[in-house]
């Protein structure tokens, strides 16, 4: 497992991010603007509101891909999905 440092967050991208709750498939240009992921690990200086297992929205072009994960700054997280 990758341990994020400072204000970085490790996310696992949501495979269903291209679909709405009702099952409609969104065009690629819409799914790339905002992506959905699950928080897997949190750096010690990251935003204290973030918790492991939360679903979050982030900029689709943000972060760095590492295998099946995305390593992203907490500043690139747009919001928590409840």
pLDDT in tens, 30-70: 446 788 899 999 999 999 999 999 999 898 888 999 999 99
- pTM for the predicted model, two decimal places: 0.80
Task: Answer whether residue 1 is part of any domain.
Answer: yes
Residue 7 to residues 29, 31, 46, 50, 56: CA-CA distances in angstroms?
29, 25, 4, 11, 15
**Total count of domains within the chain:** 1
Task: State both tokens at 26.
Answer: 């969104």
Task: Answer whether residue 38 is part of any domain.
Answer: yes
Residue 52 to residues 6, 23, 48: CA-CA distances in angstroms?
16, 26, 11
Task: Answer whether residue 6 is part of any domain.
Answer: yes
Residue 55 to residues 19, 32, 40: CA-CA distances in angstroms?
15, 17, 10
**Domain interval for residue 7:** 1-48
Task: Answer whether residue 76 is part of any domain.
Answer: no
Task: Answer whether residue 42 is part of any domain.
Answer: yes
Per-residue pLDDT band at 28 (split at 50, 70, 90): low
Task: Answer whether residue 4 is part of any domain.
Answer: yes
- pLDDT score, position 25: 60
């Amino acid at each position: 497992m990758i341990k994020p440092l400072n204000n970085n967050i490790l996310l696992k991208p949501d495979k269903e991010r291209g679909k709405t709750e009702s099952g409609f498939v969104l065009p690629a240009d819409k799914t790339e603007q905002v992506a959905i992921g699950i928080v897997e690990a949190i750096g010690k200086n990251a935003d204290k509101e973030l918790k492991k297992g939360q679903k979050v929205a982030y900029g689709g072009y943000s972060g760095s891909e590492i295998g099946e994960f995305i390593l992203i700054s907490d500043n690139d997280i747009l919001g928590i999905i409840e």
